[in-house]
Copies of this chain bind each other. A is one copy, B any other.
């Protein structure tokens, strides 16, 4: 596999989610935010998209359930985060799904947004969080007070602020952040960086430690491998053996032709690069299938059976088969996926294995702050040896985007493994999810908790409930609900206490 391929998995998973479930009712709205929240060199603004439903909201004190949108159009997260929808009524909550800048329709510079670094350079996690801060502040006050760059009247003096003491951005509505995958990272970081705005965060399948120095680079493929090996030892060993078999068979022209025909490739293998691409394609597929190894039938490009890994593994029963027989077995396995594609008669290894919405943006983020080192060695995992080559990666990033990877930005910004001072975050990870390799799997403190769900793949817990949900996922959702209740309770208790205090005591001291 190549490093570029590695880093697009998150985006691929989104595509998987996009087509599943859905049918929730929301309004699509837009809110104007500054392009740059962190300097005064750029006064430009853009409209970010968000989806909103206030059916159940108790405006006076009801919470805001805020999904911290990640790398894709926001609708797919909205449609595939049924958990928020299912509990909103009980909590009398406002439901908001905010779209991440540079994805979907939230383009700071319209169709020029990706043109060059002077425009694309504002694509960072911190800028996105600052967008969300502005949006939340606006929603809490129904837009009753203004923000720096939001004045579109052209009259820069009319700030709409009371002459003496204006309204405070704080309010009686606690905000709970939700997110899965990169969105889960954002939810957790949101609480860490803006605890006065976010009362608590449910961060599902958030690989916040998938960064340099925090997690061994081979962990991701080890977990992926374990999903196959746990399903059947022979399956894992067969996949592992398949790489060598491919190499052996494709040494000759006849071998390439044989494999091209057997695997029904759209373009026959003509050289070693084609063979490499084939192996990358297969690797990605194994990872993707592990990520969406859901207990029930789901749509990933095309309908897949429940627990698709089990189906893929069925024909891979004997890793000691000779090369040709083994590759036929492997193809039978891959065919579980291939069989469902329906429309295409052949296997196109040169197109991405999923219509990865937002892939470009994620590649850019991966080349700047989201550098997630990955490697495999074929000893502790079922993949071919592939070291993590930062130099080659940096070269790719520079050639592609004219940027260089900032390997320590995330750790410096969000604290890395030292989360001792954080609070009110639940990190959940499914052990069937390759991304659990970079997740928080142990409690950090009494209020930063790890939920490990053995039977869950990539953020299954945030999806709508399903009769086939494993017991562990059902329990996890109950656990989240209890904690959300606690967070809201403490918020409102504090609010009552503060409103009794406020300026009064201070003024006793200061009165002349």
Q: Pick the residue among B37, B148, B215, B421 that contacts A195 (CB under 8 A).
A: B421
* Binding-face segment, A72-80, A165-173, A254-262, A455-463: A165-173
Contact B510–A222 (Cβ < 8 Å): yes
Q: Which of A119, A148, A380, A407 has the most CB of B within 10 A?
A: A148
What is the total number of residues of chain A having a CB less than 8 Å from a CB of chain B? Answer: 105
A214 interfacial by beta-carbon distance below 8 Å: yes
Interface set, chain A 213-252, CB cutoff 8 A to B:
213-217, 219, 222-223, 225-226, 229-230, 236
Q: Which of A119, A196, A219, A405 has the most CB of B within 10 A?
A: A196
Name the distance in Å between A221's Cβ and chain B's nearest Cβ: 10
A419 interfacial by beta-carbon distance below 8 Å: yes
Contact A127–B39 (Cβ < 8 Å): yes
* Binding-face segment, A6-14, A84-92, A156-164, A477-485: A156-164
In the complex, which residue of chain B has the Cβ closest to the Cβ of A123?
B40
Residues of B within 8 A of A398 (CB): 156-157
Contact A161–B407 (Cβ < 8 Å): yes
A126 interfacial by beta-carbon distance below 8 Å: yes
Q: Which of A41, A127, A373, A422 has the most CB of B within 10 A?
A: A41
Interface set, chain A 113-161, CB cutoff 8 A to B:
117-124, 126-127, 133-134, 137, 145, 147-148, 151, 156-159, 161
- Measured in the bound complex, the distance between the Cα atoms of B118 and A403 in whole Å is 21
Contact A510–B163 (Cβ < 8 Å): no
- Measured in the bound complex, the distance between the Cα atoms of B452 and A18 in whole Å is 56
Q: Pick the residue among B194, B236, B373, B421 that contacts A424 (CB under 8 A).
A: B421
Interface contacts beyond A161-B390, A165-B216: sample of 20 additional A-B pairs, CB < 8 Å, sorted by A:
A38-B39, A40-B117, A40-B123, A40-B368, A133-B412, A134-B412, A145-B408, A165-B212, A166-B407, A166-B408, A167-B213, A168-B214, A169-B411, A196-B414, A196-B415, A219-B506, A222-B512, A236-B512, A380-B512, A437-B510
